């Protein structure tokens, strides 16, 4: 009679001969006789592995181990079942236990090495491969696998050694040649890499890894077309390959083929939507293609997949900064520096965002932090200089820009900013020289060209200034309009229709809307897109062909930005259009305010002192309300506030002592922007203002207006003249010393006394 032990041996013999069904039957008979027979449970599980019944195998082999946990082979076979189920962590534990029980179990060590490599645990995998090499130095496969793992951790020299050994052992095996090519690539030995990849493909023309590796080698040499060809071959052989799609996208991106790159990245994400690397690359391509909103979404997806990528937060911040979404940009930069405290670029850019928001103290703190990390960082010194310039400290800014240039002599930014500092101090020749040096390094810098335009224009050099002025449309943060129709260059329209679209601030629209009349005199068919807030005033003033921004545009053939018209008409001081009273207040409102103002005796002067604080040069144009005090020393003068919003908080301090009457927030609330204000101006004796839209409104209405200007004002007010060629009724009062408002207001007080005396006469 056959014993249980003999039956088990018979079952094992059937198993080893491939007679799985017979082995299974015998094992079940054994277990029916002895349910605690560990070897039978183990063999039954091994048979289940061969049949692909992995869940059953796990249950059966686990039962064997519970009965006898000291059999290395049982742990190994359980690992095989777990590995087939994709339960890599459980399989790893099983292989490790098999090796603890039997350190010489080479199959378990090999499985463990490959599994650890698959899980990205490369140092551990390499250690096991090395132990396998000690036992099986002539195993070409293990030599090749060790070489591949070493290549993945950047140990190119060691990878070359083991790949070469694999090639010696099995010269007709394709994989070692491919691995050798990768290792040579890491060492920058591209000729040897190409030869290795070529030998691999000669053995196996369909070896996808060789095509991929060769593509990487060619990509590093910037041989874009050849790299793309190999990546395409790799994808032909293995279409679902995220790494190859990602790399092909990177090649297209490097060639400026952004749409093709984005397509490959998105195809890769179809297969692996959790790949942070691909989301990140897709975002950079979208940003480079000018698709900033989509880039923001892609960067956010990248950090959702991998929240520790500081560079992704940094680039998200840059993209949001370009979109002028300041709060979101600041949050992204803060996360970048939280993840990487020494991230100098992120500290600098966070400071730039704070500076753009007017948060100057926090901006300076960011720049100082950058300098603590990198004391010779030219960008940080340059940024400190830009901040000082923003605060009106031009001399201190110059020293910082010069420091930046000591550390980075070819810094186009520092040279351009040094030019801006000279420009702010009225050193125009020096400013132009620095701008030229900057443009020699970076010819397409829109900001530098634009600043050079302002230097020419303020000096009345229109021929040089107008062409450079067009660069404003390319400046960072400028939301230039884009249309399918071509821009207009001044050529005859021949019956076509021209769209003129407003840009920049409300004051710019009020100043340059005068050019529309010149277009109409040519008989051209024109309509003008303007900010909706100005529609009532402009229609009242006879500009009937105006449309509010955001409304549907009628058909047109060509377009032009409003501020490009002076250049197109080749404006000079000799032909500058200066019509008197081209803006009009509504008659009904003029009468309403005439009645209300009749209650106030004396010489009625409207004052306006504050522009938008967010404007970079607001420190030059806005005037503290207390500086208007000399005006009230003139007998018979009554001051009326024309200020709305920002700046009105100063009234609480000086309105009483200066006797200023505040109309309150209700003006312009109902009829539209400037409608009440225009009617009020028509009922005043004089308007005194800083350089804001109120000056252009008063000048356009043709009412007497005095404009207080900084020592080096905006270009449109030119230099060293008391009148404005733009507005016949305007008089200019200039600082003689930068920052000193006492001088122009003393002059105004004297002139006001004369005006009051004349009024009385």
Per-residue pLDDT tens for 100-110? 999 999 998 88
Rounded mean pLDDT, 536-546: 93
Residue 298 has pLDDT above 90, yes or no: yes
- In degrees and rounded to multiples of 5, residue 659 shows phi and psi of 65, 35
288 token code pair: 């480079």
Residue 438 has pLDDT above 80, yes or no: yes
Task: Note whether 701 and 684 are within 8 A (CB).
Answer: no
Task: Note whether 507 and 726 are within 8 A (CB).
Answer: no
Residue 479 has pLDDT above 70, yes or no: no
DSSP structure string for 185-244: HHTT-HHHHHHHHHHHHHH-TT-HHHHHHHHHHHHHTT-HHHHHHHHHHHHHHSSS-HHH
What is the rounded CA–CA span in Å between residue 445 and residue 322? 15
Which conformational region is residue 476 in: left (phi greater than 0), alpha (psi within -120 to 50 degrees), or beta?
A: beta
What is the rounded CA–CA span in Å between residue 492 and residue 494? 6
Q: b/e map of 338-370 (b: 16 or more CB within 10 Å)?
A: ebbeebbbbbbbbbbbbbbeebeeebbebbebb
Strand, helix or coil for residue 633:
helix
User: In this predicted model, what pLDDT tens digit does every residue of 721-758 receive, in sequence order?
Assistant: 999 999 999 999 999 998 899 999 999 999 999 999 88
Identify which of 352, 417, 347 has the alpha carbon closest to the alpha carbon of residue 382.
417
The pLDDT, as a whole number, for residue 602 is 92
The pLDDT, as a whole number, for residue 759 is 67
Which CATH superfamily hosts domain 1-136? Tetratricopeptide repeat domain (1.25.40.10)
Sign of CA dihedral 616, 620, 625, 626: positive
HSE toward the beta carbon, residue 755, CA cutoff 13 A: 20
Residue 761 has pLDDT above 60, yes or no: no
DSSP structure string for 648-703: GGGHHHHHHHHTEEE--TTTTTTT-TTHHHHHHHTTSSEEEE-SSHHHHHHHHHT-
Percentage of residues in the chain with pLDDT exceeding 90? Answer: 76
Provide the Cα torsion 376, 378, 381, 385; round to 10°: 160
Task: Note whether 323 and 316 are within 8 A (CB).
Answer: no
Residue 622 has pLDDT above 90, yes or no: yes
List of long-range contacts for 285-294, beta carbons under 8 Å, 24+ apart = 285/249, 285/253, 285/258, 285/261, 286/258, 286/262, 287/315, 287/318, 287/319, 287/322, 288/253, 288/258, 289/258, 289/259, 289/262, 292/319, 292/322, 292/323, 293/323
Residue 504: pLDDT band with limits 50, 70, 90: confident
Residue 57 has pLDDT above 60, yes or no: yes
Residue 140: pLDDT band with limits 50, 70, 90: confident
Q: Given strand 525-530, what is the order of strands in its sheet?
A: 546-548, 525-530, 497-501, 558-561
What is the rounded CA–CA span in Å between residue 493 and residue 730? 35
The pLDDT, as a whole number, for residue 669 is 82
Rounded mean pLDDT, 619-632: 92
Task: Note whether 445 and 416 are within 8 A (CB).
Answer: yes
Identify which of 68, 17, 2, 80 has the alpha carbon closest to the alpha carbon of residue 40.
68
**CATH class name, domain 308-368:** mainly alpha
CATH of domain 587-760: 3.40.50.2000
Angle between helices 156-169 and 174-186 (to 10 degrees): 160
697 token code pair: 């409104």
The pLDDT, as a whole number, for residue 481 is 82
User: In this predicted model, what pLDDT tens digit does every residue of 10-43 receive, in sequence order?
Assistant: 989 999 999 999 989 999 999 999 999 999 999 9
Task: Note whether 581 and 671 are within 8 A (CB).
Answer: no
Round the average pLDDT of the chain to a whole number and report it: 93
Residue 72 has pLDDT above 70, yes or no: yes
Tell me the longest C-alpha to C-alpha distance in the chain: 144
Residue 245: pLDDT band with limits 50, 70, 90: very high
Task: Note whether 534 and 599 are within 8 A (CB).
Answer: no
What is the rounded CA–CA span in Å between residue 144 and residue 172? 13
pTM of the model: 0.76
Strand, helix or coil for residue 487:
strand
Rounded mean pLDDT, 239-264: 96
The pLDDT, as a whole number, for residue 671 is 80
The pLDDT, as a whole number, for residue 760 is 52
Identify which of 664, 356, 686, 705 has the alpha carbon closest to the alpha carbon of residue 511.
705
User: In this predicted model, what pLDDT tens digit does every residue of 626-654 receive, in sequence order?
Assistant: 999 999 999 999 999 999 989 899 998 88
């Amino acid at each position: 009679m056959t014993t249980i032990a003999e039956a088990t041996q018979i079952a094992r013999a059937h198993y080893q001969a491939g007679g799985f069904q017979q082995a299974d039957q015998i094992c079940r008979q054994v277990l029916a006789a002895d349910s605690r027979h560990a070897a039978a449970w183990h063999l039954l599980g091994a048979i289940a592995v061969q049949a692909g019944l992995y869940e059953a195998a796990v249950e059966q082999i686990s039962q064997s181990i519970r009965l006898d946990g000291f059999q290395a082979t049982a742990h190994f076979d359980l690992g095989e079942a777990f590995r087939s189920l994709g339960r890599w962590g459980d399989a790893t534990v099983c292989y490790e236990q098999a090796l603890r029980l039997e350190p010489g179990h080479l199959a378990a060590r090999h499985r463990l090495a490959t599994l650890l490599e698959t899980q990205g645990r490369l140092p551990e995998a390499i250690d096991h491969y090395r132990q396998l090499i000690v036992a099986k130095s002539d195993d070409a496969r293990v030599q090749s696998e060790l070489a591949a793992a070493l290549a993945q951790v950047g140990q190119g020299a060691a990878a070359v050694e083991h790949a070469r050994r694999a090639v010696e052992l099995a010269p007709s095996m394709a994989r070692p040649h491919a691995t050798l090519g990768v290792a040579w690539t890491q060492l920058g030995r591209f000729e040897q890499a190409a030869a290795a990849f070529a030998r691999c493909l000669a053995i196996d023309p369909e070896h996808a890894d060789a095509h991929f590796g060769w593509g990487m080698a060619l990509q590093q040499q910037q041989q874009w077309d050849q790299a793309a060809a190999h990546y395409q071959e790799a994808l032909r052989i293995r279409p679902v390959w995220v790494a190859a799609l990602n790399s092909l996208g990177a090649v297209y991106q490097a060639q400026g083929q952004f749409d093709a790159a984005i397509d490959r990245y998105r195809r890769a994400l179809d297969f692996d939507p959790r790949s942070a690397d691909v989301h990140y690359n897709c975002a950079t391509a979208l940003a480079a293609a000018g698709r900033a909103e989509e880039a923001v979404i892609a960067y956010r997806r990248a950090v959702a997949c991998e929240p520790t990528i500081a560079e992704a937060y940094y680039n998200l911040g840059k993209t949001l900064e370009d979109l002028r979404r300041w709060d979101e940009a600041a949050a992204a930069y803060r996360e970048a520096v939280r993840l990487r405290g020494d991230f100098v670029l992120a500290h600098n850019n966070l400071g730039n965002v704070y500076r753009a928001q007017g948060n100057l103290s926090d901006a300076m703190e960011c720049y100082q932090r950058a300098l603590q990390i990198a004391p010779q960082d030219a960008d940080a010194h340059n940024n400190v200089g830009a901040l000082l310039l923003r605060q009106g400290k031009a001399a201190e800014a110059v020293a910082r820009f010069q420091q930046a240039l000591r550390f980075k002599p070819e810094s186009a930014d520092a040279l351009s900013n040094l030019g801006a500092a000279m420009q702010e101090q009225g050193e125009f020749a020096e400013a132009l020289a620095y701008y030229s040096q900057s443009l020699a390094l970076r010819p397409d810098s829109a900001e530098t060209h634009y600043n050079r335009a302002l230097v020419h224009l303020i000096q009345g050099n229109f021929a040089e200034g107008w062409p450079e002025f067009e660069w404003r449309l390319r400046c960072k943060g400028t939301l230039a309009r884009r249309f399918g129709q071509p821009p207009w260059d001044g050529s005859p329209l021949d019956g076509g229709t021209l769209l003129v679209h407003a840009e920049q601030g409300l004051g710019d629209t009020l100043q340059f809307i005068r050019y529309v009349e010149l277009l109409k005199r040519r008989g051209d068919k024109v309509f003008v897109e303007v900010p909706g807030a100005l529609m009532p005033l402009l229609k009242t003033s006879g500009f009937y062909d105006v449309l509010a921004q955001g409304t549907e545009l009628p058909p047109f053939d060509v377009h032009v930005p409003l501020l490009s018209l002076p250049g197109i008409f080749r404006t000079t001081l000799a032909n500058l259009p200066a019509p008197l009273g081209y803006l009009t207040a509504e008659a009904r409102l003029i009468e309403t305010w005439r009645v209300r103002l009749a209650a106030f005796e004396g010489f009625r002067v409207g004052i306006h002192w504050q522009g938008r604080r967010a404007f970079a040069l607001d420190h030059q144009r806005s005037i503290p309300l207390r500086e208007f005090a000399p005006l009230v020393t003139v007998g018979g003068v009554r001051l009326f506030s024309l200020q709305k919003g920002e700046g009105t908080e100063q009234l609480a301090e000086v309105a009483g002592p200066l006797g200023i009457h505040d109309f309150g927030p209700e003006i312009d609330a109902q009829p539209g922007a400037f409608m009440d204000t225009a009617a009020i101006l028509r009922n005043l004796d004089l308007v005194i203002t800083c350089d804001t839209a109120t000056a252009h409104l008063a000048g356009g209405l043709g009412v007497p207006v005095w404009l207080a200007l900084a020592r080096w004002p905006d270009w449109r007010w030119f230099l060293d003249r008391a009148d404005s060629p733009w507005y016949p009724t305007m008089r200019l009062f200039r600082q003689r010393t930068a920052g000193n408002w006492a001088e122009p207001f003393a002059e105004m007080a004297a002139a006001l006394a004369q005006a009051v005396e004349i009024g009385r006469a």
